[in-house]
Amino acid sequence: MKKNEWDYKIFWDETLKQMQSEITEQEYLMWFRNMYYNRSEESRILLTVPSSFYRDQIKQRYLDRLENIILELSGQKISIDFVIENKKNIKKKTNKSDKLKTEKKLKKPRHLQLNPEYTFKRFVIGENNSFAANAAYAIAKNPGRGYNPYLIYGGVGLGKTHLLQAIGNSAYEEFDKIKIVYVTAETFANEFILSIQNKTGHIFKNKFRSVDILLIDDIHFLQGKEGTQEELFHTFNALYDSNKQMVFTSDRPVSELKSLSDRLRSRFERGLNVDLQPPNYETRVAILNKKIEEKNVNIPDSVVELICKNIKNNVRDLEKALTKLIAYAELVNKNITLEIAQRQLKDFFAEPNQKNITIDTIQKVVAEYFGLSFNDLRGKRRNKSIAYPRQIAMYIAREITEFSTTEVGIEFGGRDHTTVMHACQRIEDRLKTDPTMEPLINHLIRSIKEYKNQ
């Protein structure tokens, strides 16, 4: 049999080495750790990457340079193409290298602020979070040397705290004398206030400005807290100037945080901001199976399917459903069957009846999100800062309730149904062109449903 004439692997290996010497280690880890040589074809090399997002980013950032290096090395024009690999294989590879590392290291006493369960090893990677997880991994391996600060944003229960603490746990294990502080923004604010009351400002400053890695969770809590923002601004500058790593999480993009000083906002946006999306069905199944494996329980696949089909937007709720089932099974000393799961989790799955969502609720949630009053949204004013949130509210009303355009129009200051149709069209157009739109709408819909639950 004729041997493959086009085997460019040797050029690829050299190209990688060359690339590694040209960019920071952190960048290299982030973009090249999960990229593998796949095969060669005539005048082309195929590489395996974890997602289309990765492929697009690599194309944009490195493709020209990579192809140039290959040209220099081989003297021929060889193009690079990508194959997207399924998630399971990638997960296995990551886990294996993580495992080897943990086995090698001796255990240190545990870090008191970090939950030891929040590790990279326990974090399941899917399309929705691969970028955020890989960036986190790269940062943990190389703190302070690239993306600084790193900010992860996304809805409730999607793994922000888990990833943030995984950075802490991994770096804590990897580097001997590293000083890592993890706080929620709320704790940061409370400690700051206490330090003023007790005149211990110097201790507070020393605590936060002498770290190697500062992890602050839920910075949306800082909205409207001017003094704390100012303090964080100075802490930020001190750490940034000495190349210390900072990582933050937020429940929404920084651009949508309200009552935040411009200078702090620009600091948050300076490094890398990445969003976490809700996991798709396959990733939910993988996450739940991992939890089942960790808890060492026996759950039929049909039950896993049932849970994952019903809980879509929140990984914490997936876990809660599982915990509830296990507790029940232990209590009555029975195996978990599909029938038991259906019965036990009925309330858990019960999405609020969408017909019960009122336009009122939608208006309240949307108004609050945009810092407007309820009456602004219902009223007649047409300036842009109101018109856009109003269009969003109308769009959501049509999406998740049964009200007609006429009925929706009446609730929005007696507007005509064509106005509502026009608003929906505007938002639909925007959904096609603006990638921030869908996460925003999803976030609002979730908040509206949760509001009904309260």
Determine the interface stretch with ligand ADP among 118-126, 206-214, 382-390, 428-436 (rule: CB under 6 A).
118-126
CB 244 within 8 A of CB 216: no
287 binds ligand ADP (CB under 6 A): yes
166 contributes a contact to ligand ADP by CB under 6 A: no
Q: Which residue has the tokens 């090399």?
A: 45
Q: Whole-angstrom Cα distance, residue 94 to residue 92?
A: 5
> In the bound complex, what is the minimum distance in angstroms from residue 33's beta carbon to ligand ADP?
18
Between 287 and 408, whose beta carbon lies closer to ligand ADP? Answer: 287
List the one residue from 49, 140, 158, 219 that touches ligand ADP (CB under 6 A): 158
Half-sphere exposure of 188 (CA within 13 A, CB side): 28
Which of these ranges, 122-130, 321-329, 376-384, 406-414, lies near ligand ADP under the rule CB under 6 A?
122-130
Which window, 74-82, 157-165, 172-180, 192-200, contacts ligand ADP (CB under 6 A)? 157-165
Q: Which of 34, 40, 51, 161 binds ligand ADP (CB under 6 A)?
A: 161
Q: Is 159 in the site for ligand ADP (CB under 6 A)?
A: yes
Exposed, middle or buried by CB within 10 Å (0-12, 13-18, 19+), for 36? middle
Q: Is residue 307 close enough to count as binding ligand ADP by CB under 6 A?
A: no
CB 143 within 8 A of CB 171: yes
| Structural element, H or E, at residue 246 | strand 245-250
Among 63, 73, 84, 156, binds ligand ADP (CB under 6 A): 156
Residue with tokens 């603490």: 165
- Give the strand order in the sheet containing 150-154: 180-184, 213-217, 245-250, 150-154, 272-276
| Angstrom distance (rounded) from CA 413 to CA 428 | 22
Is 315 a binding residue for ligand ADP by CB under 6 A? The answer is yes
Residue 157 interacts, among ligand ADP, Mg ion, none and using kind-specific CB cut-offs from 5 to 8 Å, with: ligand ADP
On whether the CB atoms of residues 8 and 78 are closer than 8 A, the answer is yes
Place of tokens 């939910």: 284
Residue whose CB is less far from Mg ion, 161 or 229: 161
Per CB under 6 A, the segment of 100-108, 150-158, 260-268, 341-349 that binds ligand ADP is 150-158
Residue 287 Cβ vs ligand ADP, minimum distance, rounded to whole Å: 5
For residues 250 and 419, which CB has a smaller minimum distance to Mg ion in the complex? 250
Identify which of residues 213 and 392 has a Cβ nearer to ligand ADP in the complex. Answer: 213
State which amino acid sits at residue 43.
S
Strands 213-217 and 245-250: parallel
The residues of the shown chain that bind Mg ion, judged by CB under 5 A, are: 160-161
Q: Considering only the stretches 104-112, 151-159, 200-208, 444-452, report the one whose residues sit in contact with ligand ADP under the rule CB under 6 A.
A: 151-159
Single residue of 55, 111, 160, 364 touching ligand ADP by CB under 6 A: 160
> What is the smallest separation between the CB atom of 160 and Mg ion, expressed in angstroms?
5
CA angle 444, 126, 49 (to 5 degrees): 125
Nearest approach in angstroms of CB 10 to ligand ADP is 37
Nearer to ligand ADP, 19 or 156 (CB): 156
Number of residues lying near ligand ADP (CB under 6 A):
15
Min separation Cβ 154 and ligand ADP, Å: 6
Report if residue 319 touches ligand ADP, rule: CB under 6 A: yes
* Tokens 């929140």, located at residue: 314
Q: Report the candidate in 151, 157, 146 with the shortest Cα–Cα distance to residue 132.
A: 151
For residue 121, report the phi and psi dihedrals to the nearest 5 degrees.
-60, -35
Laid out side by side, the sheet with 36-41 consists of: 36-41, 44-49, 79-84
431 interacts with ligand ADP by CB under 6 A = no
Buried residues in 366-393 as b, exposed as e (16+ CB within 10 A): bbebbebeeebbbeeeeeeebeebbbbb
Residues in the chain: 454
Q: Of Mg ion, ligand ADP, none, which one does residue 367 interact with (CB within 5 to 8 Å by kind)? A: none
Q: How far is the CB of 272 from ligand ADP (least distance, A)?
A: 17
Residue 376 binds ligand ADP (CB under 6 A): no
Peptide bond into 278 cis (omega under 30): no
Check binding of 304 to ligand ADP (CB under 6 A).
no
E-only strand ranges, 55-179: 79-84, 150-154
Cα(15)–Cα(347) distance, rounded to whole angstroms? 56
Nearer to ligand ADP, 26 or 94 (CB): 94
Structure tokens at 174: 């990897």
Binding-site member from 143, 146, 149, 157 for ligand ADP (CB under 6 A): 157
Residue among 159 and 271 whose Cβ is closer to ligand ADP: 159
The one segment of 6-14, 74-82, 117-125, 384-392 that binds ligand ADP by CB under 6 A:
117-125
